[in-house]
Amino acid sequence: MRTADIRTRFLDFFAARGHTVVPSAPLPTPDPTLLFVNAGMVPFKPYLTGESPAPWQRATSVQKCVRTLDIEEVGRTTRHGSFFQMNGNFSFGDYFKEEAIGLAWELSTAPVADGGFGLDPARIWVTVHHSDGEARGIWRRVAGLPDERIVARGDEDNFWSMGVPGPCGPCSELYYDRGPALGPEGGPAVDEDRYMEFWNLVFMQYERGEGPGKSGYPILGELPRRNIDTGMGLERMATLLQGVDNLYETDETRPVLDRAAELAGVRYGADAEADVRLRVVADHVRTALMLLADGTAPGNEGRGYVLRRVLRRAVRSMRQLGHQDRALPELLPVARDLMAVSYPEVAEGFARIADQAYGEEDAFRDTLKQGTTVLDTAVAEVKAAGGRSLPGRQAFLLHDTYGFPIDLTLEMAAEQGVEVDREGFTALMNAQRERARADARARKSGAADTAALRAVLTEHGPTDWRAWEALESDARVLALLGPAGPVPVARTGDVVTAVLDRTPFYAESGGQDSDAGRLSGASVEADVLDVQRPLPGLVVHQVRVTAGELAPGGAVHAAVDPEWRLGARQAHSGTHVLHAALRQVLGPTALQSGSYNRPGYLRLDFPWRGALGPAVRGDVEEAANRALRRDLPVDVRWMTLPEAKELGALALFDETYGERVRVVEIGGAWSRELCGGTHVERSAQIGVLSLTSESSVGAGMRRLEAAVGIEAFDHLARERDLVGRIAEQLQAPRAELPERIAALLDRMKSTERENQRLRDEATAARAAGLAGTAVDAAGTAVVTATADGGADAARSLAVAVRDRLPANRPAVVAVGGTAGGGGIVVVAVNRAARDAGRSASDLVKRLLDGRGGGSPDLAQGGGLPARRITEVLADLPGLVAAAAG
């Protein structure tokens, strides 16, 4: 049974039993504690925790997931994959243990002809929490399982919570015995390779209190509404139903593996280490495809770094297999054709996906070249110093700065007979990881900090949010929070977080900055500094009290600064216009991957290889401003997500959408996007859009910045004034400025060439005279001199003198000069001197006590006071003579 068919069969089974089919959420998640969705329940988290009411009583989904904590284990075990799909069924206060267990057993064991998966009931084992006698009894009654195949386990394995106060409960896992060829008998407690877990049923029935880890925290009592959260690994079920050894050999990954083996000229199954690399390629190529399809772009931090690491591991694994050419253009289309059956968007957006992936591979191949040069230099220095081990800090530099993997460093160093200080490297890596973990812990601590806010939400319900239709509203203060928790009152000068029952303030989201404005009451005035949504449905305001006192229960008037809101509307609508203009000029692959806008300013990131250039930027700017001049209508419509997709509305990948979505149109189909921001009513209200900058923000990713509205007028006025001043200084009409400036630059270049010619003639004339001042030092002609004009002048004179001396006699020339306020010395030697064992690099180091270096024929050093140049040069004949002795 194909993986896509397993997916469809699962959804159809639960849809027929009253579950709403919910589409997979995008892999990037707005949850600040997660980079990507890593479990099927993540999109349902607000409903499971009670933060928001669930739109359905029963739901089912197949959720795309990415986990990278075990990325080094990918390919080495049968259980680890960085991308996977989680089939799930969910109940929000509807059915509980008995029906969840019954549904899982029915689907798992029903014959294929009857819509089930046809697993042999005699080979299924289950685990339950040791305290959950109810679940044990249900398994006996519903499935007829004997006690020996119902295994009791503790909190670590069979009790679920999110790690913070909130819902929790026991769970029950289903395992399938794959046969004695894969391990010993005895059930999942003995061997989890033979007995493969394929489904986990979580029974959320309790509320937990504060406490670390997976156990040791108090259970506060029963939840008012009990929930069901289950997860069946789609790849694991495919492994079982397709009769393959591991998830890398299923129908959605094996063709990529086979193509990689073909390219590398190896056979899967012939070599254990090669097999690991092939499995890494198969997994990582699919993972990269799905991340790119959901809008993640390669970068140096966060989600972008995860994608970059996955792509580079795939490319490196192909290199280790012996394939030196570009690999992704051969592998990514294979993964596309496999995954498009279930996810058509990977085919629809493949031009953009491929452009980013291939650009990243090209960049990494360049990185390998740079890293190889650095490594070769470091190895040469180690050998020259008589060492046999590359320092750990050097290996870490290669890894951290150049993206050079440690195993590649180990391999290439060994080829040159040098070891690597692996312990030193590991210590530096561990220190970096600990910093990352500390950062992650700090990020996750934010979940605990929301406890007080969650209590406000539970007590008072969602905020009455009026930003789309109002600039002012009367409100009541529900709570005030400081860094340490609730505060009873905020006085003049205090900065606190205020929760209101209703608000007209726009909370930062969708790339739009939050509103600014004021809160005022009978005895208080406060500036609104920031507005956020820390929990679904809850809007909070960071405020600074400027007069009086603010206290919970007090009445206030909330007013948005109308000029700020006007600027914000212009900027957000301007972002949509620029996006549409960009796609009009460059084509549909120029899809926005990130944006930010505030009054007067916007920026937009999009995938593109190479700079646009002035002409293309001009075309984009003109297309945008023509849309403003046409005064296109701006319309907002609500519809279901499938209806919006059918209409062709663009969905931005870092947003999470509900069942009904808000579609903003500018000029109908010309610009049609899902958006929750504030907008103008017609495009002419944006005023003017002026591009101010274009830059690179990573491999294959560009950023446009623009001024909007009155700020755009200001920007153009400043440029007009600048052009006016230049025209006045050159005494030329503005239209002639490009030609006049070009003529000035040509004249400057011509003058510089003439000056250089005169300097070269002067150097040559002086070199001829200096060559005649050579002194003999044990058979070597030695010349010393000083030069004005810095290091370049000193090098030029040293080379010119050396070339004037007889080629058949060893010659050494040293020229002193000044650079940056200090003294420098340049040493040049001819071929005869090198043949006689003289080295410019060695000589300059001896002259300057080790401060310097270069090649054997030309070297430079510094670090001495300028007054000592003559003294140092006087030592050269003696050093040359001593070296000859």
The CATH architecture to which 565-721 belongs is: 2-Layer Sandwich (3.30)
For residue 267, is pLDDT > 90? yes
399 labeled part of a ligand binding site: no
> What average pLDDT does this structure show over 423-428?
87
Tokens 């004021």 belong to 518
675 labeled part of a ligand binding site: yes
For residue 440, is pLDDT > 50? no
For residue 224, is pLDDT > 90? no
- Range among 26-40, 137-151, 631-645 rated most confident: 137-151
Over the stretch 43-55, which tens digit does the pLDDT of each residue have?
A: 888 888 777 788 8
Q: Are 216 and 229 in contact (CB under 8 A)?
A: no
For residue 337, is pLDDT > 90? yes
> What average pLDDT does this structure show over 376-389?
84
- Give the pLDDT score at 297: 83
Over the stretch 539-579, which tens digit does the pLDDT of each residue have?
A: 999 999 999 999 999 999 999 999 999 999 999 999 999 99
For residue 216, is pLDDT > 80? no
Is the model more confident about 80 or about 308? 308
> What average pLDDT does this structure show over 191-214?
87
pTM: 0.64
- Give the pLDDT score at 5: 96
For residue 383, is pLDDT > 70? yes
- Name the packing angle between helices 254-264 and 328-339 (round to 10°): 160
Domain parsing of the chain, residue ranges = 3-249, 254-363, 451-560, 565-721, 764-884
**Two tokens, residue 801:** 């003198």
- Give the pLDDT score at 701: 81
Q: Which of 450-454, 457-461, 750-754, 845-849 is the least confident region?
A: 450-454
764-884 to CATH, choices 3.10.310.40, 3.40.140.80, 3.40.309.10, 3.40.50.510: 3.10.310.40
> What average pLDDT does this structure show over 350-379?
84
> What average pLDDT does this structure show over 238-242?
95
Is the model more confident about 30 or about 535? 535
Rounded Cα gap, residues 666 and 424, in angstroms: 58
572 labeled part of a ligand binding site: yes
Over the stretch 755-785, which tens digit does the pLDDT of each residue have?
A: 889 988 888 889 999 999 999 988 899 999 9
- C-alpha radius of gyration, the chain, whole number: 35
Is the model more confident about 522 or about 656? 522
> What average pLDDT does this structure show over 449-464?
84
For residue 434, is pLDDT > 70? no
Rounded Cα gap, residues 756 and 118, in angstroms: 86
Q: What HEC string does 130-198 produce?
A: CCCHHHHHHHHHHHCCCHHHEEEECHHHHEEECCCCEEEEEEEEEEEECCHHHCCCCCCCCCCCCEEEE
Share of the chain above pLDDT 90, in %: 55
For residue 87, is pLDDT > 60? yes
- Give the pLDDT score at 308: 86
Share of the chain above pLDDT 70, in %: 94
Q: Which is nearest to 285 in space by CA: 323, 315, 247, 249?
A: 315
> What average pLDDT does this structure show over 659-673?
90
Superfamily name with CATH number, domain 3-249: Bira Bifunctional Protein; Domain 2 (3.30.930.10)
For residue 279, is pLDDT > 60? yes
For residue 442, is pLDDT > 70? no
> What average pLDDT does this structure show over 216-220?
84
- Give the pLDDT score at 446: 38
- Give the pLDDT score at 657: 61
- Give the pLDDT score at 448: 37
For residue 158, is pLDDT > 60? yes
Q: Which is nearest to 706 in space by CA: 719, 715, 717?
A: 715
For residue 292, is pLDDT > 60? yes
**pLDDT band at 438, cuts 50/70/90?**
low
**pLDDT band at 686, cuts 50/70/90?**
very high
Q: Which of 23-37, 264-278, 418-432, 843-857 is the least confident region?
A: 23-37
Q: What is the mean pLDDT of the chain?
A: 88
Is the model more confident about 29 or about 461? 461
Alpha-carbon torsion, ordered 587, 593, 596, 597, to 10 deg: 30
Q: Are 465 and 503 in contact (CB under 8 A)?
A: yes
Over the stretch 620-633, which tens digit does the pLDDT of each residue have?
A: 999 999 999 999 99
DSSP summary character for residue 603? E
CB contact set of 66 (below 8 Å; sequence gap of 6+): 27, 36, 37, 38, 82, 83, 84, 287, 290, 291, 306
- CATH 3.40.50.2000 for domain 451-560: no
- Give the pLDDT score at 9: 96
**pLDDT band at 70, cuts 50/70/90?**
low
- Give the pLDDT score at 441: 41
Is the model more confident about 271 or about 304? 271
For residue 303, is pLDDT > 90? no
Rounded Cα gap, residues 355 and 277, in angstroms: 24
For residue 450, is pLDDT > 50? yes
Rounded Cα gap, residues 869 and 228, in angstroms: 82
- Give the pLDDT score at 381: 84
Rounded Cα gap, residues 714 and 349, in angstroms: 38
Rounded Cα gap, residues 712 and 251, in angstroms: 54
**pLDDT band at 433, cuts 50/70/90?**
low
- Give the pLDDT score at 660: 82
Q: Are 207 and 166 in contact (CB under 8 A)?
A: yes
- Give the pLDDT score at 756: 86
